[in-house]
Structure 1
Amino acid sequence: MTTTWPRGSMSTVQEGRPHTVRPTRGRLRGLAWVHALVMAGCAVLGLFVVVRYAIHSVRGFHFDDRMMLSLGTTPAAWWRILDVLGLVTDVSVALCLAVCVVVAMLQRRWAVAISAGVLIGGANITTQVLKYQVLQSVSPPNTLPSGHTTVGLSLALAAVIVASYRWRPLVTAGAALVATFVGAGTVSAHWHRPGDVLAAGMVCLGWAAVALAIVGGLQRRVPVGRRPVRLAAASVLGVLLAGLAVVLIGVRPRFGIYDLPLALCTLGLLGAMFAIVVGWVSQAVDRIVA
């Protein structure tokens, strides 16, 4: 007896496994643009809110300063944080940028190499221009956005974009850990207020949107699949590990139990921002970047 299959039915089942329908290049390009526009819109809105509250409002500025001062460090912790922040130099940024580009080029992922360079260069130049040429604070000199946070987060996001499909969850966790530690470290060492770090996060998110638009428009490969839960969990795990590291090295509420609620709020706010930014970019990359 011969079984007649309806036309097209064999495309859904092959050897007992569901057939994965991959998007066409046109659909992939449209998906990349949607992600980029939404991400860029949130970045601009977030930056506007932070600037308006943190440096253009006297009350907001003083509360932001109070949040920074709620965190204190032991002498040993302070030196450990400075050792890490001291690694953020022009040479180290250039070296990390070169590594990201070379790794992508060795894999013949030319669009990924271009997008990584655009993300790192664009985010860091934008931060310097905003800080020294555009924005003015109610209490000069202006320190928003944080340059160290921009460097750490832009390099972390570039690593997520460059990472292969198999290694992306692990790289996402590492990226969230490094970026969170650098951002929280600048606040704990009293180099920057939390608003400076949040603003740097919005700058990096905006340039990540540009990077995704570039990849979506230029790459010819098709991504393998989507793992939103796994990547979100990896981002949260990296942030939690960074928070644990910050506590273990000696970051404490500056005035003990009195500052504990505000210190927890400060670290929680920073951690939430890094978890959202790294997790969001990683999930978008998983859907768009091959």
Structure 2
Amino acid sequence: MSTTAAPQPWSPPRPVSSRRTWSLVALGAGWWQLVALGVLYVVCVRTAAGQRHENRLHDVALENRGSETGWLRTAFDLVDRLQPHHLVLGVGVVGLVGLVRGRLGAAARGVVVAGGTLAVTELLKLVLLERPALLEHGSAANSLPSGHTSAVLGLALGLLVAGPRWLRAPLALAGAAAAGAMGAFVIADGWHRVSDVLASALVGSIVLCLVHVLPTRDQRRRGALVRLSLLVPGAAAAALVVVYAGGADLTTSYLLAGAVVALTVLTAALALPREVRSRG
């Protein structure tokens, strides 16, 4: 029987130049979003006008803290009980999903995305970035990006990377709902400002793009990755215009920020490479 009778999805091998082009696109997508993250930080945190817009909504959220009832209060209480060991368990589940499938590379990339999203967030928030005192009522500790949002977003993206292609749609929908809800919750309960959550969306997208700089035998889609790198910063910028320049209320603001986080998960699912099966 001829070995060429049934073409395989991985054949013919991609040339080195094609792999190099993919890596450059992934690297460029990550760096471009890093620039967008820097602009977000400078505009919202390093200017008096930005801090004034930030504090307007944050003060309202702090005044309303604890006033939620019913299922919303239950959800806030659940979020409040999340601990670091829950994240460690979640990252372990991401790796286990890839290993059970026999996809060591996917398991490793999923773990890097899940853990790396939070690690980069904490590095930025606690070490590299600061919130200067530009207004009369004083300064606060830097809160950009949001650690809780990045934790859930990272796990959602990690599961997409490590999980099988046939599960991507339900995983993307569930991950978008969970990460988007977390982003909305931390703003509504006064834990974070809008820009903190938008920054988390950018961090998750950046880590995902940079992880895909690594070589893989899967069928990669440069256009989808570029679309991810454009949509997430664009959505974040649009949300800022509506929330701060447009003077949106607290409910509109946290719903918009949560929607940007959810969009990050959904767009990332479409940007992932198509897996190919091994020979034999």
Shorter-chain TM-score tier: 0.7 to 0.9
Cα distance change of structure 1 residues 187 and 42 upon mapping to structure 2, 3 Å threshold: same
1:44-55 matches, cutoff 5 A: 44-55=34-45
CA contact (8 A) 1:146 1:192 kept: yes
Cα distance change of structure 1 residues 68 and 154 upon mapping to structure 2, 3 Å threshold: same
Q: Which residue of 1 aligns with 2:109?
A: 115
Larger Rg: 1
Match of 1:95 among 85, 89, 95: 89
Q: Which residue of 1 aligns with 2:56?
A: 66
Unaligned runs of 5+ in 1: 1-9, 233-258
**Aligned-pair distance for 1:267?**
3.4
**Aligned-pair distance for 1:208?**
0.8
Q: Classify the secondary structure of the residue corresponding to 2:149.
A: helix
CA deviations on 1:182-238 (whole Å, 9 max, x unpaired) are: 110000111100111111111111111122223xx0x33x34999x7xxx9xxxxxx
CA contact (8 A) 1:55 1:61 kept: yes
CA contact (8 A) 2:184 2:255 kept: no
Q: Classify the secondary structure of the residue corresponding to 2:212.
A: helix
Q: Classify the secondary structure of the residue corresponding to 2:165.
A: coil
Q: Which residue of 2 aligns with 1:157?
A: 157
CA contact (8 A) 2:40 2:195 kept: yes
CA deviations on 1:63-98 (whole Å, 9 max, x unpaired) are: 022234556552445632323313532111111111
Alignment TM-score, normalising by the size of structure 1:
0.71
Cα distance change of structure 1 residues 46 and 112 upon mapping to structure 2, 3 Å threshold: same
> 1-side partners of 2:20 and 2:59: how far apart?
45
> 2-side partners of 1:124 and 1:46: how far apart?
18
Matched residue pairs, number?
A: 242
Match of 1:37 among 15, 23, 27: 27
Q: Which residue of 1 aligns with 2:78?
A: 84
CA deviations on 1:27-84 (whole Å, 9 max, x unpaired) are: 7634642442243133202211221122111111120222345565524456323233
CA contact (8 A) 1:127 1:146 kept: yes
Unaligned runs of 5+ in 2: 133-138, 229-245
1:176-195 matches, cutoff 5 A: 176-195=176-195
The one-letter code of the counterpart of 1:206 is I
The one-letter code of the counterpart of 1:42 is W
**Aligned-pair distance for 1:277?**
1.7
Q: Classify the secondary structure of the residue corresponding to 1:166.
A: helix
> 2-side partners of 1:201 and 1:57: how far apart?
21
CA contact (8 A) 2:131 2:141 kept: yes
Cα distance change of structure 1 residues 199 and 30 upon mapping to structure 2, 3 Å threshold: same
1:228-267 matches, cutoff 5 A: 261-263=248-250, 265-267=252-254
The one-letter code of the counterpart of 1:127 is T
Cα distance change of structure 1 residues 176 and 26 upon mapping to structure 2, 3 Å threshold: farther
CA contact (8 A) 1:70 1:262 kept: no
> 1-side partners of 2:263 and 2:12: how far apart?
26
**Moved beyond 4 Å, runs of 4+:** 19-23, 69-73, 223-226, 286-290
Alignment TM-score, normalising by the size of structure 2:
0.74
More off after superposition, 133-142 vs 82-91: 82-91
CA contact (8 A) 2:181 2:258 kept: no
Q: Determine what percentage of the aligned residue pairs are the same residue.
A: 24
The CA RMSD measured in Å over matched residues stands at: 3.3
> 2-side partners of 1:262 and 1:171: how far apart?
31
CA deviations on 1:96-127 (whole Å, 9 max, x unpaired) are: 11111111012121111111121122222222
Cα distance change of structure 1 residues 125 and 42 upon mapping to structure 2, 3 Å threshold: same
Match of 1:270 among 257, 271, 278: 257
